Amino acid sequence: MPSFALLQSQEDATTLKELLQQWQTLDGNISVKEAELKSTAPNAAEPTDTPPSEPQDREKLIAEYTELLAQAEALIIKLETQAKAQMVANPNDSEATRTLLGIMLNDAQFGRDARVLQLGDTLINQNINPEYFVMASRSERLSIPARELFDELLLRHAEAKQNDLPQVRLATTQGDIIIELYENEAPDTVGNFISLVEAGYYKDRLFHRVIDGFMAQGGGFKLQGGVEVDGNGPGYAIPCECNSPEKRLHFTNCISMAHAGTNTGGAQFFLTFSRTDMLDGRHTCFGRIIKGMDVLAAIKKTHISTPMAEQPIEGVEKDKIISAEVIRKREHDYKPNKIKTESSADGK
């Protein structure tokens, strides 16, 4: 658990200070309970003078520890709410900033990338000094995957300052999704995507493969006469841009190219419901949702993934992209870098 006591400033903010004091007490109680659980573990590695506990005693300790963790989660929500309100009132409030960073460090270590990045975006919108993200990324208790979140936020901070990345609106049957595109790291993929949007390619394209907790894939198939048919891609393929040292990673709510093998993508893409690090270096992540995360979550699931196979869900009326439009782009032409002229595999 994070030590929010270390994140306090000397500024006076009574309500937040009271919550932070509550956190100090609760964090101390959690540490004590963790030590008790460790000392009473059946196969504790360290020698101890404490006699082995009875099973019912350990069950009681576990129950008490679980209750303390639940209290911690509830208190974190209060801390986040109060810190955000305090920051709105005073964008330069370092106590609120440090409190939110403490929450982010905790979430990062537990793999809650969506919450970390959402809070990070909030701080970026409040013109946070990026050195805070640098400081957080150097925390010794963070794993490498957790540090990657703060590296991503440093990129987002620079992008927000530049404020010129292309943006596309997808009008879907569940509502609008606005995507910001990573032209700096994936120029070929972004160029292809924008050219297809401007050509009207994505009109009435289905989200044909949607797996809960994983991703929503679309941009290829469509309905003709009530029958789902293969759109056959745009008639060419584009190069993958996923092996560069500067490649963007697959965090929650990103957009990435689908393909059936290296350099076979064309038009199909997918939007991620979670951190999908197994796709890093295999697919080109070329943007992220900046508005409409709730819309993505509402897209109807079409398949169930099991350890053995992927099974379609019968009777689902699949959602679709009604239309797509470019709402911002840089002042140059956007064209696909075609590497194959015959029909591409396009990530089926």
Q: What is the pLDDT of residues 29-73, one digit of tens each?
A: 999 988 888 887 776 555 555 555 566 688 888 999 999 999 999
CATH code for position 174: 2.40.100.10
Residue with token string 């990657």: 148
Q: Lowest mean pLDDT of 4-8, 112-116, 310-314, name the range.
A: 4-8
Lowest mean pLDDT among 179-193, 215-229, 279-293: 215-229
Tokens 């409190």: give the residue. 99
The packing angle between helices 14-39 and 94-109, to 10°, is: 30
Average pLDDT on 76-93 reads: 90
Do residue 94 and residue 180 come from a single domain?
no
Please provide the average confidence, as pLDDT, over all residues in the chain: 89
| 115 within a domain of the structure (yes/no) | yes
Residue 88 lies in a domain: yes
Residues 110 and 131 in one domain: yes
pLDDT at 196: 97
- Answer yes or no: do 120 and 191 share one domain: no
Clarify whether residues 221 and 324 are in a common domain: yes
Average of pLDDT values for 66-93? 91
pLDDT tier for residue 311 given thresholds of 50, 70 and 90: very high
Distance, in Å, from the CA atom of 319 to the CA atom of 255, rounded to the nearest integer, reads: 17
Please state, in angstroms and rounded to a whole number, the distance separating the CA atoms of residues 277 and 290: 20
Residue 340 lies in a domain: no
Q: Identify whether 253 is part of a domain.
A: yes
At residue 348, does pLDDT exceed 80? Answer: no
For the chain, give the number of residues: 348
Question: Same structural domain for residues 227 and 88?
Answer: no
> What was the pLDDT predicted at 40?
79
What is the total count of domains within the chain?
2
Instruction: Tell me the mean pLDDT in the region 65-90.
Output: 91
Same domain (yes/no): 305, 270 = yes
Same-domain check for residues 61 and 146: yes
Domain match, 219 and 100 both: no
Within a domain: residue 347?
A: no
What's the domain range around 91?
Answer: 4-162
**Which parts of 40-143 fold into alpha helices (H)?**
55-89, 94-109, 113-125, 131-137
pLDDT given at position 2: 47
Same domain, 157 and 27: yes
| Residues 131 and 211 grouped into a single domain | no
Identify whether 334 is part of a domain. Answer: no
Determine what percent of the chain is predicted with pLDDT higher than 70: 90
Across 196-210, average pLDDT? 97
